[in-house]
A and B are shown apart, each in its own frame.
Chain A
Amino acid sequence: MTVLKASKSDLRKLLGAIAGEKRLIAPIADRTAVRFAEIADSAEICLEYRNPRMSARSALFPQSEVLLTFDGETATDARPEYRETVLFGVRPCDARAFTMLDRVFRWEGTDDPYYVGRREAATVVSLACNESGAACFCTSVGGAPHDETGSDVLAIDLGDDVLLRPVSERGETLLATFAPGMTEASEADLDRAAKFAEAAKAGQPDVAIPTDLEGLKKLFDSEVWEEFAMTCLGCGACTYSCPTCHCFDITDEEKRGVGYRVRSWDTCAFPLFTLHGSGHNPRPAKNARVRQRVLHKFLYCPENFEQVFCVGCGRCVTNCPTGIDIRKILGRVSQLVASG
């Protein structure tokens, strides 16, 4: 598929045209914090960022959503018509995370209609990374700064211009509809893009990822989890900023005589997460919860999905109030696994 090239201002025009017909979600600078928002005017879009503080997960899987409403007699599906949506500015790590969420929300042939409804209405135009962030380690977990996995179009910032590489049929259709007649990228352009990709990769540390699943299982009762638990506050900052985390809670709310069944994100970091009705809690202490977080991503998901559920975005590192670094944890754990 042909790689197109547009000037930054033409890119904004293109995005403006998309916003006119579809729903456009893109990063904006909210004072100095960058976050994803629905865009009315493409001038709002921010292009100078490493990664928005919170992941793009909420575009497909919002933090709180009403599933259905009910009164004494009937229940009504609360799903709106999911509008055709373009997600722009998602980094390759977040885009890759969508493919992991797809595995969970379409598991064994059962589709989560809320997630899948949004997913099928979404076109992902990701923005490749020309520099790695301070906490990035996508290259250690199978990703890359210019990776195309999960994207429909990959945009590459060349400074004055932006390359637009269609990745899927959906991406091609989007470009054909909104950017007909856009110039083709030259060999020189593609070369520059490749150099950026290499530079971004080089900027990342090598994080030792424990791949010996049997070895990881043996660490279940290890005291190493206590070391990390000491610093952990037990808040949900890491899990809520993670692009691959997907646990949720379903609660019933009430307003003026109508019941609302709501799904909200939940986190294994909270003691309440595993509290049984009997009062028993299989993960009563923090070390068990820290262990769960790490093993879920690096042992249980590989067992269930043949996929490590971490894309190396580094948000958990950046957002942790006490500076816990998953890269350090993984290094230590890998050491322990290797020494048997």
Chain B
Amino acid sequence: MTDKATIQAGWEPRIAAFLCNWCSYAGADLAGVSRIQYPPNVRVIRVPCSGRINPLFVVKALQSGLDGVLVSGCHPGDCHYISGNLYARRKFALMKNLLEYVGIEPNRVHFSWVSAAEGIRFAQLLDGVIESVRELGPTTKMIKKLEAVQ
């Protein structure tokens, strides 16, 4: 955990949220039109299905300097494409476990199910995710160094 004293004043966590079009993105949209507040620290990336998400997106996001990543899809059984989320579940279980195994803080990477009707749940989810990333401080472990070489 980064020493809070060393975090630059005014630092805000930046999260990328990969949301499936049919459920999670719609749920986020519902939160919006219902005026349910959640912190603005998230950039949403809409994908057709959580099964479309390449687990490398997650690692690449961390490499690019994002402090946290959220992937969210339809609840099992509700996938618009029938089973995309069920394949995704296996992929992400393995990827998340692998990242934690090599020492990436587990709270940097989150996976969840949010349906189109769950605007409140979406806001709660993001509250929790952003808070847990804020506690970890800025991402340091995977970012490119690209330093000048002697």
Interface residues of chain A, those whose CB is within 8 Å of chain B, are 23, 62, 64-66, 78-80, 82-83, 85, 118, 253, 255-256, 260, 262
Name B65's closest neighbour in chain A (CB-CB).
Answer: A256
Known: A255-B65, A256-B65. A65 touches B144 (CB 8 A): no
Known: A255-B65, A256-B65. A82 touches B150 (CB 8 A): yes
**A80-B150 in contact (CB<8A):** yes
Distance between Cα atoms of A255 and B145 in the complex (Å): 9
Q: Which residues of B contact A79 (CB under 8 A)?
A: 148
What sequence of 0s and 1s flags, for each residue 112-146 of chain B, a beta carbon within 8 Å of any chain A beta carbon? 00000000000000000000000000000001101
Question: For the complex, would chain B's binding face be called helix, strand, loop or mixed by DSSP majority?
Answer: loop
Distance between Cα atoms of A262 and B149 in the complex (Å): 11
7 residue pairs A–B, Cβ–Cβ below 8 Å: A65-B149, A66-B147, A78-B148, A82-B150, A118-B150, A260-B146, A262-B146
- Cβ-defined partner of A80 (8 Å) among B64, B143, B144, B148: B148
Distance between Cα atoms of A103 and B30 in the complex (Å): 67
| B10 to A: closest C-beta gap in Å | 16
Distance between Cα atoms of A260 and B147 in the complex (Å): 10
Distance between Cα atoms of A64 and B65 in the complex (Å): 21
Given contacts A253-B144, A260-B146, 4 further A-B contacts (CB under 8 A): A80-B148, A80-B149, A118-B150, A253-B146
What sequence of 0s and 1s flags, for each residue 85-114 of chain B, a beta carbon within 8 Å of any chain A beta carbon? 000000000000000000000000000000
**B149-A64 in contact (CB<8A):** yes
Q: Which residues of B contact A23 (CB under 8 A)?
A: 150
